[in-house]
Amino acid sequence: MTCSTIMHAEPITVTENVTVGETVKLLAEKRFRSIPIVNGDGKMLGQFGVSNILKLAIPTSASPEGGMSSANFMNDSIEDLQRRLADDWNKSVGDYCDNDTQTLAPEDSLTRTIMCIASGNQDNIPVVDPDSDRLVGIISYWDVLDHLLSEIK
Amino acid sequence: MLTLISLLAQHGAPAAEAHVIGGANPLVVAGIIFVITYAVIMSEKFNRAVVALLGGGLMILSGVLSQHAAVQAIDWNTIGLLTGMMIIVAVMQRSGVFQYLAIWSAKKVNARPWGILVMLSIVTAILSALLDNVTTVLLIAPVTLLITEELEIAPYPFLFSEIIFSNIGGAATLIGDPPNILIGSMVESVTFNDFLVHIAPIVPLVFIATLLPIYILWGRKLYASDEARQRVLDFRESEAITNPKLLIKSLAVLILVLIGFVLGHPMGIEPATVAMTGAALLLLLDNFGKNAEEKSENVHHTSGEVEWVTIFFFVGLFVIIGGLEHAGALEILAAQVVGLTDGIADTAGVTKALALGVLWISAIASAIVDNIPFVATMIPTLKEAFAQLAENGVGLDAAQQQTVWWALSLGACFGGNGSLIGASANLIVAGFAERAGHPIKFVTFLKTAFPLMIMSIIIATGYLWLRYL
């Protein structure tokens, strides 16, 4: 059994030039934790999810990438947080997605798929065709668990 | 550089007994290894530690230096002092004290931008004097970016000032800046207290003189709205202290270590012993009440935060310079230095020529290249030059020799401000700025920083002249 047997083919994606605001609305509507971002050719660019939205509300320097070990002394008002989020609302989502997303290939083994989900901090793993870099499917932890449990029963 | 090789080639007989492969002249082999490694380090194409270690390895493999001699060439006082202080800072910074200091100082001036710039400059200068510069800016630059982002103003004047004042503040003490650590460790007659008496007094002078142009250039135009300032005023600095117990422990150890530096020398205790013992004590205190697994995990983690790359860089450099010394190359370099004083018959005149020459040459050199390899080579070269001068009947006394060391320290430390690549701290700040989306351009920095550096060297010239020459 390979990754491609359990993945959802043709997942819902967002193109890179869609705005942050529209992507947020889509995530909220579908209650997704994250969604793959692709370019015009369907090539996988990264993922954009709830944590990316939340990071937009705090100053970029306060994120771990900014070099601060902790910024819990900050005490911004809700208006400040909303204003920062609004500043990025009409920008392209492609500039804000995580581009270090872990991916799998359709031929990857089930064990590798499980290890990838068990070790990572991603809720779902995009499946990418290694030759074309195109997104071909997506696997969530429930997909894997459902498969495992059905075998036991 | 090429003149150096040809100079070396002219001196046929090797100074030391060595068995170089192929029967080549060790002087030439050592010279070639030195020139190539330093050129590659300056090109910044490869990691400098890797290049230095390779150069050191070549010195041994080619037969210029035995492994035994190479190990002896490493200045363990420098290595111990650096490592010890890095461990202490690694533990201390986990308490959040540095962020606390930055926020507290920003709020003290009501979050007015120019006030914040001055306060952060003072904090940077003082911390740079007590800790190493790289560590200081590593801790201060991220908070600075956060504060300027909250104030909605450009971070450049702030980051620029922090670079400049970390190099100026670092000059004040033996432990503040790598050139001083090298001088304090490799020159037996220079102590921690000597730096406080002879170098520290000039630092406030240069600080104020440098702040003035920064005010005219940027300071008077800085403006932040009331709402923006309120965001900074709303910071709760007490919550930056994430571990109050650790803060007390590490402050206590830091104070002990500083006292150790001051009192140690008369008792024959070198800075490396003080720093490493302090580091071990702090690790012990930090691990109190933890279980065995946590203890080893904690010590492992802290050890990992030591900048081993820098340590290895020093080790490699020491071996390369050891090879150069062993082959007799430094005697030739020293003869060139002594040549600067040709025709001067009195020791006061020689001191004057040497001190001013060393000050300006090291300032310009440190602006162009990394000041660490420069100073590491200059120290044994100057020592040899002193010996040659004594043979020529113009031997400098201890105080006169010290004046030359101060010239080297001031030139190399302040010289680091000359360009973005002048000191490691500069590049660290530039790295943060780039990641935050405000890259610092090499030429933009040079245009302001180089004149400021020259100004500081002019002040240093006046200071040395009035006090010692």
Say if residue B172's pLDDT is above 80. yes
pLDDT tier at B202 (50, 70, 90 boundaries)? very high
Contact A76 B240 (CB under 8 A): no
Token pair for B469: 């020459």
Contact A60 B437 (CB under 8 A): yes
Neighboring chain B residues of A75 at a CB cutoff of 8 Å: 234-236
* End-to-end CA gap in chain A: 18
> Which of B107, B146, B227 is most worth mutating to test chain A (most A CB atoms within 10 A of its CB)?
B146
Which comes out higher in pLDDT, residue B118 or B344?
Answer: B118
Say if residue B13's pLDDT is above 50. no
Give me the pLDDT at residue B42, please. Answer: 80
B398-415 and B442-468 are packed helices; what angle lies between their axes, rounded to 10 degrees? 160
Contact B437 A62 (CB under 8 A): no
Tell me the whole-structure pTM to 2 decimals.
0.85
In a domain, residue B263? The reply is yes
Say if residue A97's pLDDT is above 50. yes
> Which of A56, A61, A69, A78 is most worth mutating to test chain B (most B CB atoms within 10 A of its CB)?
A61
How big is the A-B interface in CB pairs under 8 Å? 60
Token pair for A147: 């498969």
Contact B99 A80 (CB under 8 A): no
Q: Average pLDDT of A12-40?
A: 93
* Percentage with pLDDT > 90 across chain B: 72
Token pair for A29: 């509507």
B437 to chain A, any CB pair closer than 8 A? The answer is yes
Please give the backbone phi and psi of residue B44, each rounded to the nearest 5 degrees, phi first.
55, 25
- The Cα–Cα gap between B377 and B322 comes to 9
Neighboring chain B residues of A72 at a CB cutoff of 8 Å: 239-240, 242
B231 to chain A, any CB pair closer than 8 A? The answer is yes
Contact A66 B240 (CB under 8 A): no
The minimum CA-CA distance between A49 and chain B, rounded to whole Å, is 21
Q: Average pLDDT of B167-185?
A: 94
A58 SS3 class: coil
From the list A68, A77, A80, the residue facing B142 with the nearest CB is A68
Ramachandran category for residue B441: left, alpha or beta (phi over 0 → left; psi -120 to 50 → alpha): beta
- The Cα–Cα gap between A40 and B184 comes to 62
**Per-residue pLDDT reduced to its tens digit, B375-418:** 999 999 999 999 999 998 889 999 999 999 999 999 999 999 99
From the list B94, B146, B239, the residue facing A68 with the nearest CB is B146
The minimum CA-CA distance between B99 and chain A, rounded to whole Å, is 9
User: Contact, A117 vs A125, CB < 8 A?
Assistant: yes
**Per-residue pLDDT reduced to its tens digit, B351-363:** 999 999 999 999 9
Q: Supply the ipTM of this predicted assembly.
A: 0.77
User: Contact, B429 vs B163, CB < 8 A?
Assistant: yes
Taking CA–CA distances from B148, the nearest residue in chain A reads A61
Contact A80 B231 (CB under 8 A): yes
Give me the pLDDT at residue B5, please. Answer: 55
Q: Average pLDDT of B115-136?
A: 93
- The Cα–Cα gap between B200 and B106 comes to 25
Which comes out higher in pLDDT, residue B250 or B134?
Answer: B250
Say if residue B431's pLDDT is above 60. yes
* End-to-end CA gap in chain B: 31
Reported as half-sphere exposure (CB side, CA atoms, 13 A), residue B209 has a value of 16
Give me the pLDDT at residue B15, please. Answer: 44
Residue type, A141: Y
Burial of B447 (0-12, 13-18, 19+ CB in 10 A): exposed
**Per-residue pLDDT reduced to its tens digit, B212-265:** 999 999 999 999 999 999 999 999 999 999 899 999 999 999 999 999 999 988
Residue B407 CB neighbour total at 10 angstroms: 27
Please give the backbone phi and psi of residue B373, each rounded to the nearest 5 degrees, phi first.
-60, -35
Say if residue B14's pLDDT is above 50. no
B242 to chain A, any CB pair closer than 8 A? The answer is yes
In a domain, residue B279? The reply is yes
Neighboring chain A residues of B146 at a CB cutoff of 8 Å: 59, 61-62, 66, 68, 71, 74
Total domains present in chain B: 1
> Which of A65, A73, A78 is most worth mutating to test chain B (most B CB atoms within 10 A of its CB)?
A73
The minimum CA-CA distance between A43 and chain B, rounded to whole Å, is 26
Give me the pLDDT at residue B24, please. Answer: 81
- The Cα–Cα gap between B219 and B441 comes to 20
Please give the backbone phi and psi of residue B114, each rounded to the nearest 5 degrees, phi first.
-65, -40
User: Contact, B7 vs B332, CB < 8 A?
Assistant: yes
- DSSP state for residue A7 in the 8-state scheme: S
- The Cα–Cα gap between B456 and B163 comes to 14
Say if residue B169's pLDDT is above 80. yes
Neighboring chain B residues of A60 at a CB cutoff of 8 Å: 149, 436-437
pLDDT tier at B372 (50, 70, 90 boundaries)? confident
- The Cα–Cα gap between B251 and B274 comes to 15
**Per-residue pLDDT reduced to its tens digit, B44-103:** 788 889 999 999 999 999 999 999 999 999 999 989 999 999 999 999 988 989 899 999
In a domain, residue B385? The reply is no
Taking CA–CA distances from B240, the nearest residue in chain A reads A73
Q: Average pLDDT of A6-32?
A: 93
For residue A135, list its beta bridge partners. Answer: A128
Query: In this structure, which topology does domain A3-152 adopt according to CATH?
Result: CBS-domain (3.10.580)
Q: The domain containing residue B127 runs over which residues?
A: 77-177+198-305
Give me the pLDDT at residue B340, please. Answer: 85
Quick one: which H or E segment has residue B92? helix B76-93
In a domain, residue B371? The reply is no
In a domain, residue B223? The reply is yes
pLDDT tier at B4 (50, 70, 90 boundaries)? low
Contact B238 A73 (CB under 8 A): yes
Taking CA–CA distances from A70, the nearest residue in chain B reads B240
A44 SS3 class: strand
The minimum CA-CA distance between B236 and chain A, rounded to whole Å, is 5
Neighboring chain A residues of B236 at a CB cutoff of 8 Å: 73, 75
In a domain, residue B25? The reply is no
In a domain, residue B291? The reply is yes
**Per-residue pLDDT reduced to its tens digit, B143-168:** 999 999 999 999 999 999 999 999 99
**Per-residue pLDDT reduced to its tens digit, B298-345:** 999 999 988 898 899 999 999 999 999 899 888 898 998 898 888 888
Neighboring chain A residues of B242 at a CB cutoff of 8 Å: 70, 72
Give me the pLDDT at residue B12, please. Answer: 45
In a domain, residue B269? The reply is yes
B347-368 and B442-468 are packed helices; what angle lies between their axes, rounded to 10 degrees? 170
B434 to chain A, any CB pair closer than 8 A? The answer is no
